[in-house]
């Protein structure tokens, strides 16, 4: 059984008829059957749909037609992204049997590019979490660090890619939920600028923050998946009209002379010393590539976690109000409408989702809106301004992805604040709306992956990918 497929190797195998798309999909389903009972990365498989798509790709190859860029590539989809006819649960009991009647735009674009959708991956319930321990259907195991979390909320997507149960995957990132799992599982994971990828069909957590993005085992595959799903969508008024660059053309350009900002606020108290050591070594790789390192200050960074958890929970409180037992989903019968709401949501939502709904409802309530939500929006603007000013001086900003490596299962479940602090370096880019990628940057003790984060200016995905590729090609993953 072949392992280590990439986007290009799959396409070439199908093109040259060394392997069919159906055979490659079958290989992945065999691996999933063998490993998923332990990893719990997939919640739902869609074999009939996958084989139908694989057969379409094989028919194109047999007829000598030009193959699309992702021809035959097996891809996994996070279970917060709608898939027509395929169960989409958000890892929540309240959507346990929900089957969407339509596909998310990102899924439509993937299949139009020839990708084969294998199934839906586990995640923190409604994408609320940093460890994938909040799923109603059990925790995901980290395939490269036994007994440790895979990160969250896109932990199932990260684990599936890291375990070679998919060539690539889609995740969603609200405050770090693509990048942090990528860091913990030792793979490449990217969040594009807000508006770069359509959110149509994404089941909302926090609408001004949510983004769909790719996870893959290398930067090139990450770029190819992002290329396929990016662009304007009339179904999403927040998607941008800014043109999508050809990321492959800029991927291998030299980075000599590029100015890299190193913000002091991301290297303070609380960072694991092993993480500090690896990121410091990674920065030296960039210096050796001819990059100019520039010390910068992002003065509002310390307020990012508080700001994020005000804005995100407020939006979650609004978005999740639709789950009331009336229009769809399970219903708990009661003697009154309010009683039915209470019993339905009490049984359907898990403790972390309930915590965030309560927090969000509180910060939006009369007498507290100005003190919390309005102030949070003002600080968000200041954080975004920090980045705008920084990008007036530098081409990119490099930080750790997480202050710690993957932590042990159960280590932080009883301490929500410590769990939230795992996102301290990722929420800033989310609030600012800019693109960011996490790429492997060595392993602590040869075992625990460390991720290095690269931020670029708004719609500067090509620059971020260019720097990430240069770092990876220079051996940055093994510093």
- Which band of pLDDT confidence, cut at 50, 70 and 90, is reported for residue 269? confident
Residue 472 lies inside a defined structural domain of this protein: no
Question: What percent of the chain has pLDDT above 70?
Answer: 100
Q: Kindly tell me the sign of the dihedral angle through the C-alpha atoms of 215, 221, 226, 228.
A: negative
Residue positions counted in the chain: 479
pLDDT at 254: 96
pLDDT at 75: 98
- Which band of pLDDT confidence, cut at 50, 70 and 90, is reported for residue 186? very high
Question: Is 92 a residue of the active site?
Answer: no
CATH code for position 84: 3.90.1300.10
Instruction: Write the pLDDT tens digit of every residue in 109-125.
Output: 999 999 999 999 999 99
Residue 243 lies inside a defined structural domain of this protein: yes
Residue 406 lies inside a defined structural domain of this protein: no
CA–CA distance from 389 to each of 16, 196, 205, 395, 442 (Å)?
A: 50, 22, 29, 11, 31
pLDDT at 197: 98
Checking if the pLDDT of 1 tops 80, the result is no
Instruction: Write the pLDDT tens digit of every residue in 418-464.
Output: 898 889 999 999 999 999 999 999 999 999 999 999 999 999 999 99
pLDDT at 367: 87
Beta-strand ranges (E) seen in 202-265 are 211-216, 259-263
pLDDT at 146: 94
CA–CA distance from 48 to each of 19, 29, 45 (Å)?
A: 19, 12, 9
Contact in structure between 228 and 236 (CB atoms under 8 Å): no
Instruction: Show the domain range for 152.
Output: 7-250
Residue 427 lies inside a defined structural domain of this protein: no
pLDDT at 282: 98
Question: Residue 169: is the preceding peptide bond cis (ω within 30°)?
Answer: no
Residue 408 lies inside a defined structural domain of this protein: no
- Which band of pLDDT confidence, cut at 50, 70 and 90, is reported for residue 330? confident
Contact in structure between 187 and 137 (CB atoms under 8 Å): no
| Burial category of 337 from C-beta neighbours within 10 Å (exposed 0-12, middle 13-18, buried 19 and up) | exposed
* Mean pLDDT for the stretch of residues 225-243: 97
Checking if the pLDDT of 325 tops 90, the result is no
Number of neighbouring beta carbons within 10 Å of residue 236: 17
Choosing from 177, 183, 193, 317, which is the catalytic residue?
177
Q: How many domains does the chain have?
A: 1
- Which band of pLDDT confidence, cut at 50, 70 and 90, is reported for residue 2? confident
pLDDT at 134: 97
pLDDT at 366: 86
pLDDT at 268: 87
Choosing from 130, 131, 153, 438, which is the catalytic residue?
153
Question: Is 193 a residue of the active site?
Answer: no
pLDDT at 334: 92
Comparison of pLDDT for 3 and 334, the residue scoring more: 334
Which secondary-structure segment (H or E) carries 156?
helix 155-162
- Which band of pLDDT confidence, cut at 50, 70 and 90, is reported for residue 229? very high
Choosing from 20, 78, 120, 188, which is the catalytic residue?
78
Checking if the pLDDT of 305 tops 90, the result is yes
Question: What percent of the chain has pLDDT above 90?
Answer: 94
Checking if the pLDDT of 140 tops 90, the result is yes
Mean pLDDT of the chain: 96
Residue 368 lies inside a defined structural domain of this protein: no
* Mean pLDDT for the stretch of residues 119-147: 97
> What is the distance between the alpha carbons of residues 117 and 122, in angstroms, rounded to a whole number?
15
pLDDT at 226: 98
Question: Is 402 a residue of the active site?
Answer: no
Instruction: Write the pLDDT tens digit of every residue in 188-223.
Output: 999 999 999 999 999 999 999 999 999 999 999 999
Residue 409 lies inside a defined structural domain of this protein: no
> What is the distance between the alpha carbons of residues 305 and 380, in angstroms, rounded to a whole number?
10
Checking if the pLDDT of 107 tops 80, the result is yes
**What's the angle, vertex CA 436, arms to CA 435 and CA 438, rounded to 5?**
160
Residue 315 lies inside a defined structural domain of this protein: no
- Which band of pLDDT confidence, cut at 50, 70 and 90, is reported for residue 328? confident
pLDDT at 321: 93
């Amino acid at each position: 059984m072949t392992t280590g497929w990439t986007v290009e190797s799959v396409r070439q195998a199908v093109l040259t008829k060394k392997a069919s798309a159906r055979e490659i999909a079958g290989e992945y389903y065999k691996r999933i059957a063998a490993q998923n009972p332990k990893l719990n990365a997939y919640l739902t498989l869609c074999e009939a749909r996958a084989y139908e798509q694989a057969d379409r790709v094989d028919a194109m190859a047999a007829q000598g037609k030009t193959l699309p860029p992702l021809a035959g590539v097996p891809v996994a989809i996070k279970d917060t992204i709608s898939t027509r006819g395929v169960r989409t649960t958000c890892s929540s009991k309240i959507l346990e049997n929900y089957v969407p009647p339509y596909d998310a735009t990102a899924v439509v674009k993937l299949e139009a590019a020839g990708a084969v959708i294998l199934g839906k991956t586990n995640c923190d319930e409604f994408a609320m979490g940093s460890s994938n321990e909040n799923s109603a259907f059990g925790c995901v195991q980290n395939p490269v660090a036994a007994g440790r979390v895979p990160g969250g909320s896109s932990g199932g997507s990260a684990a599936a890619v890291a375990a070679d149960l998919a060539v690539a995957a889609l995740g969603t990132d609200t405050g770090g939920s693509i990048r942090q799992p990528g860091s913990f599982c030792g793979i490449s994971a990217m969040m594009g600028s807000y508006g770069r990828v359509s959110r149509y069909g994404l089941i909302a957590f926090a609408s001004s923050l949510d983004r769909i993005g790719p996870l893959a085992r290398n930067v090139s595959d990450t770029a190819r998946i992002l290329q396929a799903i990016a662009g304007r969508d009339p179904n999403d008024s927040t998607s941008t009209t800014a043109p999508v660059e050809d990321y492959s053309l800029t991927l291998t350009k030299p980075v000599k002379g590029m100015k890299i900002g190193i913000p002091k606020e991301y290297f303070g108290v609380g960072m694991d010393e092993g993480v500090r050591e690896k990121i410091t070594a990674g920065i030296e790789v960039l210096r050796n590539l001819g990059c100019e390192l520039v010390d910068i200050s992002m003065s509002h960074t310390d307020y990012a976690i508080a700001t994020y958890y005000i804005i995100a929970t407020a939006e979650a409180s609004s978005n999740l109000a639709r789950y009331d037992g009336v229009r769809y989903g399970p219903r708990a019968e009661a003697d009154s409408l309010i009683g039915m709401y209470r019993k339905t949501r009490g049984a359907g939502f898990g403790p972390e989702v309930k915590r965030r709904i309560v927090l969000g409802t509180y910060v939006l309530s009369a007498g507290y809106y100005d003190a919390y939500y309005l102030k949070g929006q003002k600080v968000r603007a200041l954080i975004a301004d920090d980045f705008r000013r920084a990008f007036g001086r530098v081409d990119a900003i490099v930080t750790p992805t997480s202050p710690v490596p993957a932590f042990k299962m159960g280590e932080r479940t009883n301490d929500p604040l410590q769990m939230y602090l795992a996102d301290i370096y990722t929420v800033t880019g989310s609030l600012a709306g800019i693109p960011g990628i996490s790429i492997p940057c060595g392993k602590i003790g040869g075992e625990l992956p460390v991720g290095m984060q690269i931020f670029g200016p708004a719609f500067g995905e090509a620059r971020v990918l260019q720097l990430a590729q240069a770092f990876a090609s220079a051996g940055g993953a093994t510093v």
